[in-house]
Amino acid sequence: MVPLHLDFSLPLRAFDVALALDVGAETFALVGPSGAGKTSVLRAVAGLARPARGRIACAADVWFDSERGVDVRPEDRSVGYVFQEYALFPHLTVEQNVTFGGGRGDRLLWRLRIEHLAKTKPGELSGGERQRVAIARALARGPRVLLLDEPMAALDPHTRGAVRAELHDLLRELALPALLVTHDFEDAAALADRVGVLADGKLRQVGTPADLLGAPADPFVARLAGANVLSGVAARTASGLTGVLLDAGPTIFAADPGSGRTDVVVYPWDVSLAHEAPDDSALNHVRDEIVSLTPLGNRARVRLKLLTAEVTTASLERLRLQPGDQVVASFKATQARLLSRT
């Protein structure tokens, strides 16, 4: 029996959220741009939004079934919900928040390392502390399903990495079906066993983070996963590779077969930068101008006119790269994946 079974359609103003999904004792991330209907999925599972039709079941318990007229009230579903911005009760202390639904909070406060904050009000907590209180509160009633709405969004970049690692460990330890919503593919890949890409209320692709990175179903999924998507026309070359004449000018070589209108997917972390075209095994060398540099911890995102590269800050300093510089971006033919348009 699948721990969490969803198959429903929920009308929103602009479109219907319609998806069929089975979530085991795993963390499943729904990723998509804002307004894709991600939160509506969580609300439907929690009973806060009522689908037009379909079925939502937790193991043998049916929570919603339009055909049988079943719609269990939110307070009677066994759901732990971590709301966006956490929705902590501002008039109650941390301990009162955690025990709002009954039970004792000691063990959870200890497990989430917030026991020293028990008598504090949420208004005086940092973002990371608030997140832990929200998770403790969601777990206090021993839920059978955990729902997390953008749990990382309210955190500043400095604490993000550490908090993400902690949340990852906690989710593994709980081994509950957890449905996590995020607009950030990196968060999804770091936290989830499987990822579903949601656009306009429909699932575009479902798979492990590696599946989605290795074989994105379409340009939308590829862009969401952080890839450069370059459009052009593909043709087979004499060497057995595929040559893609990009709309922007240069020709790219790819190992994948393809012909006609094609999108080339290149991940920023596969692109290396140099002042002159290096004499190496990479087949693709594109001369381009640096538009901007954005530091990301020990790496930096270098935006060129054609594509974006991700290099270490050490390399950046060694090459003394500045916006406006002419550089050569290199990547192998096997790192250029083709998405043929059908």
**Contacting residues toward other proteins, per CB under 8 A:** 43, 46-48, 73-77, 79-81, 83-85, 87, 89-91, 100-102, 116-121, 123-124, 137-138, 140-141
Beta carbon of residue 42, minimum distance to other proteins (angstroms, whole number): 10
Q: Give the integer Cα–Cα distance in Å for 173 and 163.
A: 15
* CB 324 within 8 Å of CB 304: no
Beta carbon of residue 291, minimum distance to other proteins (angstroms, whole number): 39
Beta carbon of residue 26, minimum distance to other proteins (angstroms, whole number): 21
Beta carbon of residue 79, minimum distance to other proteins (angstroms, whole number): 6
Beta carbon of residue 266, minimum distance to other proteins (angstroms, whole number): 40
Helices 127-139 and 157-174, axial angle in degrees (round to 10): 20
Using the minimum distance from each CB to other proteins, give the nearer residue, 120 or 313.
120
| Short-list 300, 309, 305, 229, CA closest to 269 | 309
Q: Give the integer Cα–Cα distance in Å for 192 and 207.
A: 10
Using the minimum distance from each CB to other proteins, give the nearer residue, 79 or 190.
79
Quick one: tokens of 31?
Answer: 């990723």
Using the minimum distance from each CB to other proteins, give the nearer residue, 76 or 280.
76
Residue 277 Ramachandran class (φ > 0 left, ψ -120 to 50 alpha, else beta): beta
Using the minimum distance from each CB to other proteins, give the nearer residue, 118 or 203.
118
Beta carbon of residue 44, minimum distance to other proteins (angstroms, whole number): 13
Using the minimum distance from each CB to other proteins, give the nearer residue, 23 or 133.
133
Asked whether the CA dihedral 184, 187, 189, 191 is positive or negative, the reply is negative
Using the minimum distance from each CB to other proteins, give the nearer residue, 131 or 262.
131
| Short-list 10, 11, 12, 9, CA closest to 35 | 12
For residue 79, give every residue at least 6 positions away whose Cβ sits within 8 Å of its Cβ, in sequence order, or none.
Answer: 45, 46, 47, 143, 144, 145, 146, 147
